[in-house]
Amino acid sequence: MHTQNTKQGLKVRLDHMFTDREFFMRSHGQVRFLTISAKLQKRVVYSIAAALAIWLLITLAMMINQLTVTGERMALAQKEAEVNSTESRLANYKESIEDVAADLKQRQDVLDQMTEQFVGEQSEAVKAAEQKQTDEQLSENTQKISAAFPEAAQLAKLEARQILYARHLTKAAMKRTEQAAEAIRKFGLNPDKLSKNSMDAMGGPLIPYFKKQNQQLHPTLERLNLALQQMDALERTLIAIPSGKPSSTGMLSSSYGYRRDPFTGGGAMHSGMDFKGPLGQPIMAAAAGMVTHAGWRSGYGKTVEITHGNGLMTRYAHLSRVGVTTGQKIEQGVQLGAMGSTGRSTGTHLHFEVRLNGKAINPRPFLEANTDVLKIKAIARQRANSPKRAESGSSRG
């Protein structure tokens, strides 16, 4: 009922809007009448409304079509971008394979150099560790490349093998470092202070190892390098410590420390140990080093002094003959001269001193080193004197 009333009301309003209308026009004294019927008015208005509606529909359809085309173009552009991105990633991966191969070759060169410089021949344990392979050490970059390119798998395995080898070598170096430190302590010396002396004297021109700027060692290789340097410093320190007997005679006539002076009878400090023996008894170097004095020294007579590095020096006094010259490099056990009684002496004997940074210390711990300590020292000396390390050292100098 309400809907019918609404329709009737709308019809009445339209009828009221569209009524017959008359217009008159005067021309040349004549009056003409023009009548526009309500029906005609409705037709004109309905036609205009229909035209507007059609125009709006066409415009809306064109807009929808334009939006659809734009969406399709955007989707196509996105697909093209994805394809280009994939191709770019593939190209980057191919370049990365070459970069990884170059890095691995350079890393292998570093490993070979470190092994030759600090270790010489590889131990059997390290050789066995080098043969093992693991995926745990693969870098994220190598994993991606290996997944994208099966041919890169060999590079991934090589990287893992290198890192594993470096870690085993680091552990071996740390073990030898601790063994050397313990041996030095048994001589009554401080390994930290002695090794610091050897590490302080370093220099030379800057020659970058890597071709790329700001390129650094892999962290595993950095740790290995540090461990090998510490091992090398301590083992060199251990080698420099005098442990060989300066004379084959075992007759000790005077010890280190306080004693009654044989000339004055008063109390005096004896800075070394005296070994009694026959005239001409060979006197040998207690450790390798350089002769820094060979000749007469007041109170000591004919004397040989050898500097071993790290502040250590040995003195051999009251000799009857000196058989070396100043500046001469010698090895442990080389004959320096012959036993005598020159200088302030009451009879044929050798006065043997050990000095650290110019201060006399008790030689007894050096002459009474046990077999284990001497074995560790022998291993360190063998490594230091290996032909490969000698060649490496001469090339670095």
Domain 251-368 coded CATH 2.70.70.10 = yes
At 371 the pLDDT is 74
d(CA 137, CA 162): 9
Binned at pLDDT 50, 70 and 90, residue 307 comes out as very high
Q: Distance between CA atoms of 397 and 392, rounded to whole angstroms?
A: 9
Residue 166: which pLDDT band, with cuts at 50, 70 and 90? confident
Q: How far apart are CA 47 and CA 41, in angstroms?
A: 10
Q: How many other C-beta atoms are found inside a 10 Å radius of the C-beta of residue 126?
A: 17
Tokens encoding 301: 């007579």
Residue-wise pLDDT for 130-145, tens only, equals: 454 444 445 555 556 5
Residue 277 burial (CB count, 10 A): 19
More confident residue, 244 or 215: 244
Q: Which DSSP state fits 340?
A: B
Q: Where are the domains of the chain?
A: 102-199+216-242+387-396, 251-368
Q: Give dist(CA 235, CA 352) in Å, integer.
A: 24
What does the pLDDT look like over 330-361, one tens digit per residue? 999 999 999 999 999 999 999 999 999 999 99
Rounded to whole angstroms, the Cα distance separating 257 from 362 reads 8
Q: What is the mean pLDDT of residues 2-20?
A: 67
Task: Print the SS3 string covering 59-84.
Answer: HHHHHHHHHHHHHHHHHHHHHHHHHH
Instruction: Give the pLDDT of residue 272.
Output: 92
User: What's the pLDDT at 395?
Assistant: 43
Quick one: pLDDT at residue 137? 47
CB 308 within 8 A of CB 354: no
pTM here is 0.58
Answer yes or no: is pLDDT of 375 > 70: yes
Tell which residue, 289, 201, 274, has the closest CA to residue 242: 289
Q: Which of 187-191, 194-198, 298-302 has the highest mean pLDDT?
A: 298-302
Number of neighbours of residue 397 by Cβ within 10 angstroms: 6
Q: How far apart are CA 107 and CA 287, in angstroms?
A: 37
Backbone angles phi, psi at 340, to 5 degrees: -155, -155
